[in-house]
Structure 1
């Protein structure tokens, strides 16, 4: 069983971690790299049949309102826990902090996590994992929610660009094992941003 952990490291290292202001070109570059990866016979998570028919992923229109600056609060003394996945695999994560932000004048909060095993690797020691679901999940978006890769901030704010949210590999192929979005990260809003669902 293959795992679906932080599947676009190279991608987000260029387009997802250092951005401080909204740029359409940055999101377009993200989408282009994602499509290239899915079309690649070696890197693609798609089944062989789906890859042969693949042309491009379906994205929501790029919107600046889904590019938000969140207040970051580091949560201390959190104990590692077994994250539920789509299989029996239960990797260890720890809640690293809380992100508070607003969209259209309404306040929201998400927990951000750190993968214990991954954080022990030098190249990913600053990586944070932000899974979320919203009111589009199961409709226009994948029912299992989406992910965003982030980096440990130096200050008390963090950029969340939902335009760069992506589906877990399980959205494309059942052979993968993917973290399930914790209930506390279910947003009561339609986040029409990022990748749409793959199959109806």
Structure 2
């Protein structure tokens, strides 16, 4: 019996370790792709030499949560940006979930302008703030991208390990949406991108 239990325990530990390793590998692969995108974009605020100043929390699967999704019906509205300009969005729905043992919710938005482009027709936007802002993470909040195809059977996997900084975290001159008050979380989300460690660049509005 002890042999059977020992064998089962070994298998479970190995399986758990494999899953954890896979999650870490997937997260790091995502971050490598994220960095590469800065070099592909003509509108990027960063150059190759700046990428070493990007900082992230260690991958943490506890911040990859399954959220309940509720579709919303609402008219378009103007979301303010840090440059003073507005961008037109529509409230697409609400995600309800638990993080750090507390119930939270985030509103999901859809850009009316990006929706017209084939590349971004399925693009959804989740701007948010949490208790790490202004300390370990950018004071202006962070973003998470989703697709309409991520919403299945009334649920969605919300991975805060993929939370990223708006361009305004690196440089002025960008129209970065300000996370609405209803997307201010009452918890510290110690996952995703942290503060940029290089001096903030000043530039004209793009």
- TM, length-normalised to structure 1: 0.81
Q: Match of 1:91, SS? A: strand
Aligned to 1:62: 59
Q: Which has the higher contact order (CA 8 A, sep 6+)?
A: 1
Contact in 2 for aligned 1:37/1:43 (Cα 8 Å) = no
For the residue of structure 1 that corresponds to 2:80, the secondary structure is coil
Residue 177 of structure 1: how far off its partner (Å): 1.1
Structure 2 length normalisation: TM-score?
Answer: 0.78
State the match for 1:10 in structure 2: none
| 8 Å CA contact retained: 1:82, 1:93 | yes
Matched, 1:73 2:94: no
RMSD of aligned residue pairs (Cα, Å) = 2.0
Within 5 Å, which residues of 2 pair with 1:52-131? 52=49, 54-76=51-73, 78-131=74-127
Is the contact between residue 94 and residue 107 of structure 2 (CA under 8 Å) also seen in structure 1?
A: yes
| Counterpart check, 1:188 vs 2:201 | no
The alignment status of 1:164 with 2:184, answered yes or no, reads: no
- Residues 81 and 190 of structure 1, relative CA distance in 2, 3 Å threshold: same
- CA distance in 2 between partners of 1:71 and 1:132 (Å): 17
Unaligned runs of 5+ in 2: 1-21, 200-206
User: Of Structure 1 and Structure 2, which has the larger fraction of its residues in helix?
Assistant: 2
Give the distance between the partners of 1:75 and 1:38, measured in 2 at CA.
33
Aligned counterparts of 1:38 and 1:69: Cα–Cα separation in 2: 29
8 Å contact 2:35–2:51 — kept in the other structure? Answer: no
Tell me if structure 2 keeps the 8 A contact 1:38–1:44.
Answer: yes
Per-residue deviation at 1:40?
Answer: 6.2
Alpha carbons of structure 1 residues 81 and 42: separation in structure 2 relative to 1, 3 Å: closer
